[in-house]
Amino acid sequence: MSAAREGSEPADGLAQAGGNGQAGGGPGSAAGSASPVLAADSLRPDLQAIAGLVPRGSTALDLGCGDGALLAHLAHHQGVRGRGIELSEAGVLACVRRGLSVRQGNLQEGLADYPDKSIDTVILSQTIQFLSDPVTILGEMLRVGRRAIVSFPNWGFWRARLDLLTHGRAPEAPDYPQPWHAAPRWQILTAADFLALCAGQGITVESEVYLSGERRVRTAANLRARTAVFALSRPLR
């Protein structure tokens, strides 16, 4: 989960390491002293699933890219030319150390700078639950990108339902425990909620990946999955 969320104050400029402005600078770039690139099995499970949905040699924009682990993996292992948008200074500095191109600022203003369909894949990982206007961000993702990939905790998971039933208190997000009052504040959503939103907005769901830890969930996903990952598309109107 990243701190780069819609509705926060943006910062100026584009931070990048190396001279080519692409993700994952080589040994001759500022990435020479960067953090090591994570192997696929070292990535968070939902990031592994996202990486599997991004075509080799394509372009990607990671919204709320955090420390750049996914972008670095995509660049070094799949030849993806990536950029990121990240709000936190610590995240931006971590990306720079990896040799990644990253802009510091909020999501909505960062996306406004990109022309229609200028990126192959726009990624939003573990962030949609913090957005005050997710419909607008999804619309902008699908304007800028030919495809969008979104992941989030699934509050439809059976243990979350059981907690609410037995204790009468808002359940914490599966795999991302955080009290309801802690910053940043999240909004509960389930995989079924998200599918209904996509249907209402005319968004095509191309792929669905449901996870319980590292395991793929094949049946009764809204009940058994802790995390949901969706690949989306929508033609230009």
| pLDDT digits 0-9 by tens, 57-87 | 999 999 999 999 999 999 999 999 999 999 9
Query: Is the separation of the CB atoms in 228 and 156 below 8 Å?
Result: no
Binned at pLDDT 50, 70 and 90, residue 236 comes out as low
In the chain, the N- to C-terminal Cα span, in Å, equals 31
- Third-level CATH fold of 14-233: Rossmann fold (3.40.50)
- Do 174 and 153 form a contact (C-beta atoms < 8 A)? yes
β partners of residue 200: none
Q: Which residue has the higher pLDDT, 68 or 106?
A: 68
Q: What is the pLDDT of residue 181?
A: 86
Which two tokens mark 237? 């109107």
- Other beta carbons less than 10 A from residue 219's beta carbon: 7
Q: What is the pLDDT of residue 177?
A: 80
- State mean pLDDT over 179-189: 86
Q: How far apart are CA 230 and CA 57, in angstroms?
A: 21
Mean pLDDT of the region 202-222: 96
Q: Are 63 and 85 in contact (CB under 8 A)?
A: yes
The pLDDT value recorded for residue 175 is: 82
Phi-psi region of 105 (alpha: psi -120 to 50; beta: other; left: phi over 0): left
3-state helix, strand, coil in the chain (%, to 5): 35, 20, 45
Q: Tens digit of pLDDT for each residue in 145-174?
A: 999 999 999 999 999 999 999 999 888 888
Mean of pLDDT over the chain: 84
Mean pLDDT of 215-225: 96
pLDDT of residue 40 exceeding 80, the answer is no
Tell me whether the omega of the peptide bond preceding residue 10 falls within 30 degrees of 0, making it cis: no
Amino acid type, 75 = A
pTM for this model (two decimals): 0.82
